[in-house]
Structure 1
């Protein structure tokens, strides 16, 4: 079956290569005939004045053959894509143009759309605000413009659909990626994760734990401010190693502290902090830097660890609060207790499971609240609109409507911002 499919694809590729000169020539002729004509592009009347140069046609050939074409701003990437898109759309299996934001998807689809329509092809585009029926209709077009997020999440949703009629995409035959370095390198660091609501009650512990975390963060903020002041004095006195230690301590205590960010605009203090960090990591003594803090934050891995000082502040009268019991050991103790009946053993096992779940759940929620307060800033990573926390795309700055952080982080942000804490989601 696979070899048969490969044979068909190879035959298709050979056929497209054979008609490439005629197809590209036809597309160029349409561009010539459209010169001087105008049509609406994102609500603005736009006059067509583009006839491709030979070098742009060469760029189209490069794209058709699956290679990367580097073009500087203003050299006509949008027009270059028209040629391989038209050629591959002739196969009838659909072509996707992946761009960086919704505006460009709509603009380019409407701008280049007149060329495609003159060539007998249909054009559509996918926007974040579209409902499934609109998406399905646009995916059925010969050519579809959209962002990598929209194509990716539609693919994930289609794979979760229980019925074929709920799916919106029709296949993945040929795609051109605009700003390929951004999509395949920068944004590739952020996985596309789809989530759905869990059939469970809303976890109220985020609200219950919030006052304690607010107090802890306030104490840490005051402490880090003092550490930065001390580091600055040491730096000005020429005691660079001691200053580097303090800068590192401040970085691990509150990486987004405004005063620290201002200091780190200068290369010297930041370099000293990283030098000390490398030294302590090499000697496996990084824990010594964290001992005077209430909690430590590893900005690279986003791992937060509550120190002994922090644990004593959060639960001075309950030292066992942060000790997660060994479930295997607890269950073994129950099984080997001959004084218990089978019914009593079952009850004790249920208690052990509940204790383990409660402790680990509370520690997890504490950590997520700390992450919400120290690593996620309002109007940067997220905004609050209409009583809801909305994620902001770190690359485009656009709001990702309907998306939620997983593992309780979104609930922690909702508790932080005093909006309704919604149900947990599962990925």
Structure 2
């Protein structure tokens, strides 16, 4: 009843979203009213408006005060540089982003162009605006494409991609507008907080960020913390030894839960494993004895590798490496590694070289990184299904922006088949029908394996011909007039399939198609750009965050680029007039092909399965029907699909058999769609709970991280930290005295011998504390004061010996290095605590509260250790040689690797290099590099002669100097640059 009343009220007053959108209309009209006046300005006059706006802000105006004229300026700038004019709905999207909200805009509505409005407006404040993309390719593309507008209006533009050095990063962050990926921005934040000098920090603050594909970054990627780690000792032999045992296990030896993605040994399996390990001399005692904790970790990793992770679905083996496949995009992720030893276990399983494990040096979740920004906004085509999570976690409202043209796509009911064989037969038949009628079709699959399985069917001439004969046979059985339409369709498609299967010559595919998945990422941009040509068949593993529009008829500019590249490869450099003529011809051809595609019904999106998340399905659907184009979408399902199987398809199978569903027949009904959406909502709710739980635990560590990072920055900004060092020294003395001479204790209870030993150990001073304690009427505080006097005198002598300048540098260096070392150890301890704290629930105690209290105790202990370690080092420090007194060498950061790890599945989701960058580095056909180099120690090419700087080429300032000194280039031969 309430829903009926609500629907009736919405019809009269409009939905809450419609009312919000209407609220922006007056400012849209004001911007439109300025259009003619702004259009009459010269380029220089238009550019001068930027200085005028900055002057107004300096005099106290707010960004909202200048929004209307600023947006009008950007619109005109885009018209002059890009030849594109912002639609009214794009102006509304810009205002939504400026307010720090999420703008949900359908595919093809020009989100990239929308961002220029709030980016320009907020960049005027001079604090820098970050535009966050999902990969390096989009960051580079958008910075160059939209950068034309910003540069035309007098703003500076930078881009952060993998492979640039710190100097280039610092320059990019100093720009008015900075494009970069979520991974690179988060990584730079962590690395900045490991630097030893404030001048080496690259970021300059977190004022305003616009996140493109916000759902992909803040929800999908937010399940995983961003981690910087360093290598540990090599345990390859142990991984191989454990891996050899796993195949010996039977089904009764382990329990597998696909739904939760968990696997564990049964009691019988545990006994069997212990016996084999003991027999091979790998273990003493029980597997779960405290000294075998590391071994348990190896066993669990090997079990997961063999029983949960499948080759060609979760990862592929390429160039002697295990390369992860991203579950959301289906792309290869070179550089990413599974955590907790899982990647090493997979390498042992696949018999490739096993790389060493890493230790965490710093980490942060994307939730906590993006909450650093004073204002955050985002844009995507699909956010409403997760609106509650955006509001709950980030405080971000979702506003649905109406499309510029009404959506002309027809979303049809799902077709559900009993078996995958029947489903694929129907899919191939539909693909063939689209190709026969010249309708472009985009086929979405959930994995590489499924896309190649479908591709194999489209290449199989016997299968295609047999499918056609079956269709013709079915058509012959149809007699009645009511069945005439179906009979005609089956006759047409049957004849076409038989012809394709029998008359296709040579190696040609009977149904030509393009496969877009992780194996073919290098052709990705061109394949996507041409997916809208009439009769084109494109099979895509996943279309989330591809960043390229599918335009009906194809993309003339993409074809022109390919033609120019081909001409250059042939040794010809096309002239401008020739290129212009070719462009005109291609545009005419594309226009003709678009007409054909429109007549055939527009882009047909066919999905072969439903994803766990409705949002991923909607992203695929949204590829069709851009800018008012017609289109269709349909999902083909089978009861043995993963989602259907996990959520109880056995019961449905028996029902369908009872109803008499024949082979090749499908069930189609809106109720089925609703029930599937309910299953998806359950999975989404579970995933939200997982992310929320991760965040609650990370918030505990985040509070500590903030304290440590703020302290580091304060220390780096101080030229003289002697007061801090003195306070730590005094606090340590007071703590030692309190420990050995408690306030309320009698003199005979004082442990003066232990106090003397502790003072000697930390400060290197042997004091007659026992004799002082024998003096009449002496108190603990007086003993503390005498110790402090002796300690301070030694510190003063040490300062004189070493020289005032050296002491100041040493104090700062020791303080930062020790803080970093203890913080890393603290992170490892917290990781271990996190893994076991759940067991407290068995004792009726809340694991989260227990984690908070334990983490606080550990943090206090870390600070106490910091005081003792810093003081002890400074009281014993000596310079290695008299020559060293001329100046201290800067401390180098340790070898580091970046990873983005899911603590539940162990999936490493951080790509150090986007596929396009990796391909560029190794050339068009060369093999992928065996292993990514450490970030701080990229090796020089083999042709480099250390004694001849002429052979070094361009050396990054933070790379090791090619001369072999072991110093950074900027501290060695690069000093003069």
The one of 169, 183, 186 aligned to 1:135: 169
Higher mean displacement: 364-373 or 417-426: 417-426
Offset of 1:205 from its aligned partner?
Answer: 0.8
Offset of 1:173 from its aligned partner?
Answer: 0.9
Give the TM-score normalised by structure 1: 0.63
Q: Tell whether 2:241 aligns with 1:208.
A: yes
Offset of 1:112 from its aligned partner?
Answer: 0.7
For residue 226 of structure 2, give the secondary structure of its aligned residue in structure 1: coil
Higher mean displacement: 407-416 or 300-309: 300-309
- Counterpart residue number, 1:114: 148
CA distance in 1, matches of 2:60, 2:351: 57
CA distance in 2, matches of 1:367, 1:315: 13
CA distance in 2, matches of 1:158, 1:392: 30
The one of 150, 156, 163 aligned to 2:190: 156
Offset of 1:367 from its aligned partner?
Answer: 0.8
Higher RCO structure, 1 or 2 (CA under 8 Å, sep 6+): 2
CA distance in 1, matches of 2:117, 2:143: 14
- Counterpart residue number, 1:391: 324
CA distance in 2, matches of 1:187, 1:159: 22
* Inter-CA distance 378–144: structure 2 relative to 1 (3 Å threshold): farther
- Counterpart residue number, 2:99: 65
* Inter-CA distance 376–132: structure 2 relative to 1 (3 Å threshold): farther
For residue 92 of structure 1, give the secondary structure of its aligned residue in structure 2: coil
CA distance in 1, matches of 2:178, 2:332: 22
CA distance in 1, matches of 2:202, 2:307: 39
The one of 270, 294, 299 aligned to 2:253: 294
Offset of 1:166 from its aligned partner?
Answer: 4.2
* Inter-CA distance 389–156: structure 2 relative to 1 (3 Å threshold): farther
Higher mean displacement: 20-29 or 188-197: 188-197
For residue 414 of structure 1, give the secondary structure of its aligned residue in structure 2: helix
The one of 308, 328, 332 aligned to 1:375: 308
Listed as ranges, the matches of 1:311-326 within 5 Å are 311-316=270-275, 318=278, 322-325=286-289
For residue 227 of structure 2, give the secondary structure of its aligned residue in structure 1: coil
1:35-82 Cα shifts (integer Å, max 9, x gaps): xxxxxxxxxxxxx33101222112211111112222111111111110
- Counterpart residue number, 1:30: 77
CA distance in 2, matches of 1:151, 1:188: 14
Number of equivalenced pairs:
299
* Inter-CA distance 102–315: structure 2 relative to 1 (3 Å threshold): same
- Counterpart residue number, 2:84: 50
CA distance in 1, matches of 2:162, 2:325: 13
The one of 325, 345, 348 aligned to 1:415: 348
Listed as ranges, the matches of 1:28-427 within 5 Å are 28-34=75-81, 48-198=82-232, 200-216=233-249, 219-220=250-251, 293-316=252-275, 318=278, 322-325=286-289, 356-357=290-291, 359-427=292-360
Contact 2:263-2:307 within 8 A present in 1 as well: no
Offset of 1:390 from its aligned partner?
Answer: 3.4
Offset of 1:131 from its aligned partner?
Answer: 4.1
CA distance in 2, matches of 1:19, 1:182: 32
Offset of 1:13 from its aligned partner?
Answer: 9.5
Contact 2:262-2:308 within 8 A present in 1 as well: no
- Counterpart residue number, 1:330: none
User: Unaligned 5+ residue runs, structure 1?
Assistant: 1-9, 35-47, 221-292, 326-355
1:110-137 Cα shifts (integer Å, max 9, x gaps): 1111111101112222223444444333
Offset of 1:22 from its aligned partner?
Answer: 2.0
Contact 1:100-1:396 within 8 A present in 2 as well: no
Offset of 1:310 from its aligned partner?
Answer: 1.7
For residue 376 of structure 1, give the secondary structure of its aligned residue in structure 2: coil
Higher mean displacement: 309-318 or 202-211: 309-318
CA distance in 1, matches of 2:166, 2:321: 23
Contact 2:321-2:347 within 8 A present in 1 as well: yes
For residue 135 of structure 1, give the secondary structure of its aligned residue in structure 2: helix
* Inter-CA distance 190–11: structure 2 relative to 1 (3 Å threshold): farther
Greater Cα radius of gyration, structure 1 or 2: 2
1:255-293 Cα shifts (integer Å, max 9, x gaps): xxxxxxxxxxxxxxxxxxxxxxxxxxxxxxxxxxxxxx2
For residue 102 of structure 2, give the secondary structure of its aligned residue in structure 1: coil
1:131-175 Cα shifts (integer Å, max 9, x gaps): 444433322222122222222222222223333344332221111
CA distance in 2, matches of 1:50, 1:182: 27
For residue 418 of structure 1, give the secondary structure of its aligned residue in structure 2: coil
Contact 1:322-1:363 within 8 A present in 2 as well: no
Higher mean displacement: 124-133 or 205-214: 124-133
CA distance in 1, matches of 2:164, 2:325: 18
* Inter-CA distance 12–374: structure 2 relative to 1 (3 Å threshold): farther
* Inter-CA distance 147–13: structure 2 relative to 1 (3 Å threshold): farther
1:232-264 Cα shifts (integer Å, max 9, x gaps): xxxxxxxxxxxxxxxxxxxxxxxxxxxxxxxxx
Give the TM-score normalised by structure 2: 0.29
1:338-359 Cα shifts (integer Å, max 9, x gaps): xxxxxxxxxxxxxxxxxx32x2
For residue 263 of structure 2, give the secondary structure of its aligned residue in structure 1: strand
User: Unaligned 5+ residue runs, structure 2?
Assistant: 1-56, 361-977
CA distance in 2, matches of 1:32, 1:421: 54
CA distance in 1, matches of 2:305, 2:295: 15
* Inter-CA distance 390–136: structure 2 relative to 1 (3 Å threshold): farther
* Inter-CA distance 179–416: structure 2 relative to 1 (3 Å threshold): same
CA RMSD of aligned residues (A): 2.7
- Counterpart residue number, 2:25: none
1:314-343 Cα shifts (integer Å, max 9, x gaps): 344759754423xxxxxxxxxxxxxxxxxx
CA distance in 1, matches of 2:177, 2:96: 19
1:165-192 Cα shifts (integer Å, max 9, x gaps): 4433222111111222222222222222
Contact 1:136-1:167 within 8 A present in 2 as well: yes
CA distance in 1, matches of 2:217, 2:228: 18
Contact 2:77-2:152 within 8 A present in 1 as well: yes
